[in-house]
Chains A and B, each alone.
Chain A
Amino acid sequence: MEIVRSQSKPSGPAAVPTIPLYRSAPELEVRLEDFELFAIDRLRVLKGISDGLSRGKKPDEMEKLVSELWRANMKHSISSEVTNKDIISHFVLRLVYCRTEELRKWFLSIETTLFRYRFQRETSDVQRELMAEFELPYKAVGNVEYEGLKDKLSQVARSIGQSLPSNAVFYKVPFEEVPDLVATRKVYIQKGHAYVAMNQVVSLVVTQFRSHLSKALVLTNRKWTSMIREKESDRLTPIVEALATSYLGPDYSQPKEFTEISLKDIDQVAKSSFPLCMRHLFEKLREDHHLKHGGRMQLGLFLKGVGLTLDDALVFWKSEFSRKVGTERFDKEYAYGIRHNYGKEGKRVDYTPYSCQKIISSTPGVGDHHGCPYRHFSEENLRAALGKMGVSSRALEDVIDKARNRHYQLACTLTFEAVHNSSCDAGVNHPNQYFSDSQSILKSKGNSVA
């Protein structure tokens, strides 16, 4: 891809499939202005998808959202330029998001989601063509084998609420290639082979897309660090670096001074300003004098984001845990983990507190109390918990309704509004944001805890 200034040179029509696979940087000339603008447009799409996912939107809602976002942001006045915009914007964002592990993870996840929804909307002919592009060497299951497996395949179909069509086509694929289908038991597997239905082919293709992009990002990072960043230091590099920071919300890794809390106030502050997920963990910790690993991570990092110093954190956790396991065991088995969270051990990474998206997608198991109560609690337990928080019965019904419809963050936002008696327009995206918003309101009412 060659970046040029100002001239607008239309490129020749290329024979591209409906969805580009971004296999290699295309032979195109791009204007410097377009370099940035295209990327920003695509970033709006990616950010919109990311938001939709964290609001817990269902697949059909996501499908609508993706096509709306794409339509709104990725058009071009010259219709033959639409595909080029698609390709160019993707490659520019690769430069932006290749530079750290976290950025790569995010970009990979959202681009894969975007690809999945675009692929699903295509006709089966186009889908088959794209499948061939990926050179997937999977054979359709022959008639004889199919007859032998029909019962089992039908059973699987029924277990996921579908039925076997009469002219069903199945592909025989090593199970390693379709991890998401295996994980959700949506395929029949035998001796290491998964039998994938035509409508599940999406999964195959998406896995390939993801795997390829993942490798490409690592290579891009290498090239960026070793060559491009230096070479483009007065042209592209500043643009790329600006793009990276512009769309990531605050991650609360550096707590602001005024929200530093002290141990003596922590119980009161937990009651007034913690979101329900953290309140629950906090209360369980006080009750059981213990939390399992998931809970320690979720609450511990939250407290760090709220301003609890490492020393205070050690005192806090020790005062609870030593009542169950003794001070010696605490020092031996748990203190290390707390210091690790503050970046004082091991890789010395300063871990960032979990966002709502991360908490919602966690899977608390037996004996766990982490996760998002609006998702992971039964309705009964959620009602009880909200009642204890002081949410009025009218507001409670709204919250429950939102939770039932899987709008977990909206439920939390409504809770915030009910408890603080004021509106929260930005919505809740991060527990630490809930906390700092709460503290601001209380401070302005003169009731804050210093």
Chain B
Amino acid sequence: MPGEEENGRDDMIIDQPQSDFMRINALPDEFNPNYLKLYYGKLFPHADIFRWMSYGTDGKHPGCDQSFFGRREFSFTLDNDIYLRFQSFNSASDMENAIREKCPFKIDIGPVYSVDPAKRHAYAQAGDNVFTPVERELVFDIDMTDYDDVRYCCSGADVCLDCWPLMTIAIKVLDTSLRDDFGFNHILWVFSGRRGVHCWVCDAKARRLNNEQRAAVADYFRVYKGNENSHRKVSLMGQALHPFLARSYTNVLKDFFERKLLSSQQLLSDERYEKILDMIPDEGITSDLRGKWQDNRRSSMAKEDINIFRWDQLKHLLQSGKQKAPGLRRCVEEIVFSYAYPRIDMEVSKHMNHLLKAPFCVHPKTGRVCVPIDPDHCEEFDPTTVPTLSKLLGEINMGLRTAGDNEWDATSLGQSVRYFRSSFLQPLLKSCKEEIESSYIAKKEQSRNSLSW
């Protein structure tokens, strides 16, 4: 049987028997329900999702609330766009069986409610919102289409390595802030499958935030305001920048803008520089720059990218120290923020009952798996090489076996599941266990004290 090598997906030796084998096993690169059935049967990490969603309550400790998992809402989008809300399950096997049977094109995760969502109608009569969300991760959704006005390489659903750095920036800025400013620790970043990223903040404190507090965090992160109907989209007033914005600028935005975006997006090319000049509220400076650039005057020795060259000229004029007008003081930063600063979808983060796609789903349009992204190495993430459904099933077909009983271990998905477990799930569950135990002890103390005379 050919394919003795462990890593057939790496350097393939194209000789006759090998390529025949690959041709037999290579699946047409599409997404289809049969592939999905196999995926849910062999690859989707049901048990890990269950353990995550249980947050330690599936243990034997007396402090564990056995009803917790069953009060979580899931929703399934089936073939033919049939949408099933308020799905809930009482055990890992219930959930797995439902997924394998219904084979949803998309699985969304909602909040944990006060009662089992399946029983919600019984509580509706009270009229007092007895059926209400009680816990939900703090989530963020960053979608490339929100940047369409500042990227020129693609538009709409497409994404490439020239615009992907915008996502990298978003991950770096938000991850740092969520940890350093807000003190959160258990954060999962996930590729959305096509053109964006999702963030799940799973600390207990985060899960208990109400809508107003979620909106506050989202607003803290918001800088870009307005749309084509209004003018200035980024307005950084004040004598100084808030430390969060200053740090983001110095550590991330400036670097990415100057090192990557300027050239990859050709932001100061002849066709595009007007848009940036529009952001400078000083006729004198803009006509000066326009004059320089229309002439295309520069030293014949200059080898550097024209965008970078022009950017330096622009910075020099704006930051030369002669500029006292308040509108100009922050102009350079405002331009950089406009092009690079993260743009989150406010509505997703603000509401406890918002449903968000589960990690490890497969995106129907691209066939790609929604894999976790390591924020510490997010610069290396490449959305164009994320494993697809067909690739994974091809790998399974190659019949590779491993010691463990997990099929995914030998596939390209193995790396993602292992990362999910070691970097996210294990530390999270450890802290959940500690919390359950300590709150149990605290409750016992309380009841003991209340009995004393």
A residues adjacent to B (C-beta < 8 A)? 152, 155-156, 158-161, 175-176, 179-180, 182-185, 188-193, 218, 221-222, 225, 280, 293, 332, 363-369, 373, 376-381
Contact = CB atoms under 8 A, between A and B. Distances in A.
Given A161-B238, A191-B180, A376-B230, A155 B220 contact: no
A176 B227 contact: no
Contacts of B227: 364-369
B136 to A, nearest CB: 15
Given A192-B183, A366-B343, A183 B238 contact: no
Contact of B238 (A159, A190, A378): A159
A373 B229 contact: yes
A152 B243 contact: yes
A159 B242 contact: yes
Contact of A377 (B149, B230, B245, B246): B230
Interface stretch (B91-99, B211-219, B406-414, B445-453): B211-219
Interface in B118-160: 127-128, 146, 148-149
Given A155-B246, A156-B243, A192-B205, A378 B231 contact: yes
A363 B241 CA distance: 23
B220 A193 contact: no
User: Chain B: interface residue count, which band?
Assistant: 35 or more
Nearest to A207: B212
Contact of A378 (B213, B230, B241): B230
Interface of B: 81, 127-128, 146, 148-149, 180-184, 205, 209, 212-213, 215-217, 219-220, 224-232, 237-246, 343, 346-347
B213 A193 contact: no
A177 to B, nearest CB: 9
A280 B343 CA distance: 25
Contact of A218 (B128, B181, B224, B226): B128
Instruction: State the 3 A-B residue pairs at the shortest beta-carbon distance, nearest first.
Output: A192-B183, A179-B216, A183-B219
A155 B242 contact: yes
A367 B146 CA distance: 8
Contacts of A159: 238-242
Contacts of B217: 182
Given A190-B180, A366-B149, A176 B230 contact: no
Given A156-B242, A175-B182, 13 more contacts: A155-B242, A155-B246, A160-B238, A176-B205, A189-B181, A189-B244, A191-B180, A218-B128, A363-B225, A365-B346, A366-B146, A369-B227, A378-B230
Contact of A376 (B81, B181, B226): B226
18 contacts: A158-B238, A158-B240, A175-B182, A179-B212, A182-B217, A182-B220, A185-B242, A191-B180, A191-B182, A192-B184, A192-B205, A225-B127, A363-B346, A366-B148, A366-B149, A369-B229, A376-B230, A378-B229
Nearest to A331: B81
A158 B229 contact: no
Contact of B216 (A182, A192, A365): A182
Contacts of B241: 155, 159
A379 B229 CA distance: 10
Contacts of B216: 175, 179-180, 182-183
Nearest to A222: B128
B308 to A, nearest CB: 27
B134 to A, nearest CB: 15
Nearest to A373: B229
Contact of B220 (A160, A183, A221): A183
B182 A221 contact: no
B220 A185 contact: yes
A158 B239 contact: yes
Contacts of A158: 238-240
Nearest to A328: B81
Contacts of B146: 365-366
Contacts of B212: 179
Given A183-B215, A365-B346, A221 B229 contact: no
A376 B148 CA distance: 20
A155 B239 CA distance: 8
A233 B66 CA distance: 45
Contacts of B183: 190-193
A332 B243 CA distance: 46
Contacts of A225: 127
Nearest to A280: B229
A183 B181 CA distance: 13
Nearest to B237: A161
A270 B345 CA distance: 31
Nearest to B208: A176
Contacts of B148: 366
Contacts of B225: 363, 365
A189 B243 CA distance: 9
A192 B243 contact: no
Given A183-B216, A373-B229, A378-B231, A155 B128 contact: no
A185 B229 contact: no
Most-contacted residue by chain B among A156, A183, A225, A363 (CB, 10 A): A183
A225 B346 CA distance: 36
B235 to A, nearest CB: 12
B124 to A, nearest CB: 9
Contacts of A188: 242-243
Nearest to B240: A158
Contacts of A175: 182, 216
Nearest to B241: A159
Contacts of A193: 183
A221 B81 contact: no
* Chain A CB within 10 A, most for which of B184, B216, B229: B229
A15 B346 CA distance: 46
> Which residue, B146, B180, B219, B246, has most C-beta atoms of chain A within 10 A?
B219
B40 to A, nearest CB: 24
A366 B182 contact: no
A326 to B, nearest CB: 13
Nearest to A159: B238
Contacts of A368: 227
Contacts of A152: 243
A374 B183 CA distance: 40
A116 B347 CA distance: 27
A159 B238 CA distance: 4
Contacts of A379: 231
A106 to B, nearest CB: 16
Contact of A221 (B128, B149, B237, B240): B128
Given A179-B216, A182-B217, A190-B180, A366 B240 contact: no
Contacts of B81: 332
A158 B242 CA distance: 8
A377 B229 contact: yes
Contacts of B180: 190-191
Nearest to B246: A155
B219 A184 contact: yes
A155 B240 contact: yes
Contacts of B184: 192
Contact of A155 (B243, B343, B347): B243
A369 B245 CA distance: 28
A107 B368 CA distance: 49
Contact of A192 (B182, B224, B226, B231): B182
Contacts of B242: 155-156, 159, 185, 188
